[in-house]
Structure 1
Amino acid sequence: MEITPKAVAIPKETDHLEQGRYGPIYPRTPACYGFTIIADVKPGRAEAIRNHGHVLAKALEDDPHLLAPLKLHYLRWVLFDDDTRFMYQGIFDTDFDKYTEDAVALFGKVGVNTVFENLVGFPEDWKTNPEAFVRYVREHQCPSFIEYGEYPYVSADEIKKALRVKSALSEMLDQLQ
């Protein structure tokens, strides 16, 4: 089976898209689902954001499957403009509504705060008000207009399964030698 890379241009207008609980449901692209937000950092909170990255990395070291419910492929955080602005970019396998609801539920369950608490205007009641969380993300979302996938429409679970098969096959071939 040959996998053909693919790109999809995403329309600027979203009125024609199916509406979910929190607004338009962006179509699945070759890169799956995802979103990018750019927001202002609360004054003096850039180091707290960096530290939150260390906290998250440590939490994942302790429990590598901590974020598994989010079905993430990638997560990227960037501070820029002299640490006054923050970019969050996530690529995942579920639609936006499910991802954000799962994130709020996960953070509440494990008692983890979100890095977004360091951003100007982020709702203080986000743990009990998923709608406010989603509204903030939607207001700060910077939608992409093209997405490319070297291995289009492949889920994180499918990638992990393929890597397990590859490992098992390699181990079997090593035993034959």
Structure 2
Amino acid sequence: MELKPAAMVLPHDESQLEQGKYGPIFPRTPACYGFTIIARVKPGHAGAIRGYGSTLAEALETDPYLLAPLKLHYLRWVLFDDDTRFMYQGIFDTDFDKYTEDAVALFRKAGVDTVFEHLEDFPEDWKTNSEAFVRFVREHQCNSFMEYGEYPYVTADEVKKALRVRDAFSEMLDQMQ
């Protein structure tokens, strides 16, 4: 099977989209699913956001599979406008409803907070009020209008499996020499 790069234009009119539990369900694109959130940082909290990034990186060193339930490909966090605004970009393999429910459940189970707590208007009761969490995300979501994938529609699990096959094949070839 040959994988050819692909792009998809997303509809500007969200009313055309299937409705899920928490609003429109954007289609799976060549880049899979994902969203971008841009929100204002609470005054004086930029350092805490950077610190949370370090905390998460350390937690992943201890448990590399901590975020596995989210089926993530990538996360990107950016502070900009003199550390007054924060951008969260996530690319993952599940639709919006599942991702947000899984994220709240994961943080609840792990007993950890979220970087979003350092953002203005983030609900204090997010751990017990999934709908408030989702409402915040939806209100701060910036939808893409085009997405591209060099290896379209491939899941994170498929990428990891292909890399394991590559490594096993390489090891087999090394042993033959």
Q: Secondary structure at the match of 1:44?
A: coil
Q: CA deviation at 1:26?
A: 0.3
- For 1:145, the equivalent position in structure 2 comes to 145
Q: CA deviation at 1:11?
A: 1.1
Q: Secondary structure at the match of 1:91?
A: strand
- For 1:36, the equivalent position in structure 2 comes to 36
Whole-angstrom distance in 2 between the partners of 1:151 and 1:111: 35
Residues 8-157 of structure 1: pairs in structure 2 closer than 5 A:
8-157=8-157
Whole-angstrom distance in 2 between the partners of 1:112 and 1:62: 15
Whole-angstrom distance in 2 between the partners of 1:37 and 1:67: 19
Q: Secondary structure at the match of 2:14?
A: coil
TM-score scaled by length of structure 1:
0.99
- For 1:170, the equivalent position in structure 2 comes to 170
- What do the CA deviations read for 1:61-82 (whole angstroms, capped 9, x no partner)? 0000000000000000000000
- What do the CA deviations read for 1:70-123 (whole angstroms, capped 9, x no partner)? 000000000000000000000000000000000000000001100000000000
Q: What is the percent sequence identity of the aligned residues?
A: 78
Amino acid at match of 1:98: K
Q: Alignment RMSD, CA only?
A: 0.4
Q: Secondary structure at the match of 2:159?
A: helix
Whole-angstrom distance in 2 between the partners of 1:22 and 1:32: 19
Q: Where does structure 2 lack aligned partners over 5 or more consecutive residues?
A: none
Q: Where does structure 1 lack aligned partners over 5 or more consecutive residues?
A: none
Amino acid at match of 1:83: D
Whole-angstrom distance in 2 between the partners of 1:17 and 1:84: 33
Whole-angstrom distance in 1 between the partners of 2:111 and 2:48: 17
